[in-house]
């Protein structure tokens, strides 16, 4: 028969066991958080990226998306995220892309990349399944650094046609749009122009001035369905 003192000792042991279990559960979560903030682990080198498409610009976009996904697959074991991120979320979690080697063609892109994820953006996705904007926009080694507008709600949107003369010029337009805080959705793209749906964090009337501060020129088009606004690098004829 169990005595009263014996019963109290058993209850005490249960509390001790529960306390130790809670302690180890908390302790087990600490290395994951530390690893996520480790920039060495978040920088993946030698990532293969290749794709084919109807033109070289689209092929490069698809190859970069494939590269971001391949880099994420390398680190997903340490992130312990609630779900797999979408391509758009991956793009926002990438801090920089450095092209180690590339081969381009009229309908093909193949390269080897170094992809660095933003620690804070990855941490927020691991904790809540949502991505805060990376501290710097996704960029390549040949692109100048830019400041990212602090994330604020998207107020409205507009459709614009971006015109460019080369792949590098398109990448620069894309970088500056992200730096200006625009939410970028490419609806169609060719070798010399891209149809964009831009989510704005300022009223439409202030968009030309906001984009102008980032070296972009936004001007009204003809007003037809596919030519409402025209976008390009400032100073380009």
Domain range for 229 is 156-233
Q: What is the pTM of this model?
A: 0.53
- Residue 27 banded pLDDT, cuts 50, 70, 90: very low
pLDDT of residue 160: 93
- Is 29 part of any domain? no
pLDDT of residue 215: 94
31-57 burial, b if ≥16 CB within 10 A, otherwise e? eeeebbeeeebbbbeebebbbebebbb
pLDDT of 17 higher than 60: no
pLDDT of 55 higher than 90: no
pLDDT of residue 90: 87
Q: Name every residue whose Cβ is closer than 8 Å to that of residue 3 and which is 6 or more positions away in sequence.
A: none
- Is 212 part of any domain? yes
Average pLDDT over the chain, rounded to whole?
76
- Is 133 part of any domain? no
178 or 129, higher pLDDT? 178
Residue with tokens 């979320």, as numbered in its chain: 89
| CATH code: domain of residue 87 | 3.30.1660
Number of domains the chain is built from: 2
- Is 10 part of any domain? no
pLDDT of residue 131: 67
Residue 177: how many other CB atoms lie within 10 Å: 22
Taking the CA atoms of residue 90, residue 96, residue 100 and residue 106 in that order, the dihedral angle to the nearest 10 degrees is 60
């Amino acid at each position: 028969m169990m005595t009263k003192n014996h019963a109290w000792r058993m209850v005490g042991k249960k509390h001790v066991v529960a306390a130790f279990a809670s302690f180890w559960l908390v302790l087990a979560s600490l290395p994951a958080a530390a690893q996520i903030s480790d920039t060495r682990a978040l920088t993946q080198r030698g990532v293969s990226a290749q794709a084919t498409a109807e033109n070289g610009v689209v092929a490069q976009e698809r190859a970069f998306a494939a590269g971001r996904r391949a880099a994420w697959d390398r680190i997903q074991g340490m992130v312990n995220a609630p779900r797999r991120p979408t391509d758009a979320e991956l793009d926002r979690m990438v801090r920089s892309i450095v092209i180690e080697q590339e081969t381009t063609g009229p309908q093909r892109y193949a390269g080897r990349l170094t992809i660095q994820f933003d620690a804070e953006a990855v941490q927020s996705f691991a904790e809540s399944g949502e991505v805060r904007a990376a501290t710097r926009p996704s960029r390549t080694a040949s692109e100048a650094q830019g400041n990212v507008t602090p994330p604020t709600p998207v107020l409205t949107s507009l459709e614009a046609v971006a015109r460019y003369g080369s792949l590098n010029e398109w990448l620069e337009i894309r970088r500056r749009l992200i730096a200006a805080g625009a939410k970028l959705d490419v609806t169609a793209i060719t070798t010399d122009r891209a149809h964009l749906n831009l989510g704005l964090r300022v009223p439409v009337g202030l968009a030309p001035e906001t984009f102008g501060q980032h070296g972009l020129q936004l001007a009204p088009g003809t007003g037809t369905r596919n030519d409402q606004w025209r976008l390009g690098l400032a100073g380009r004829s």
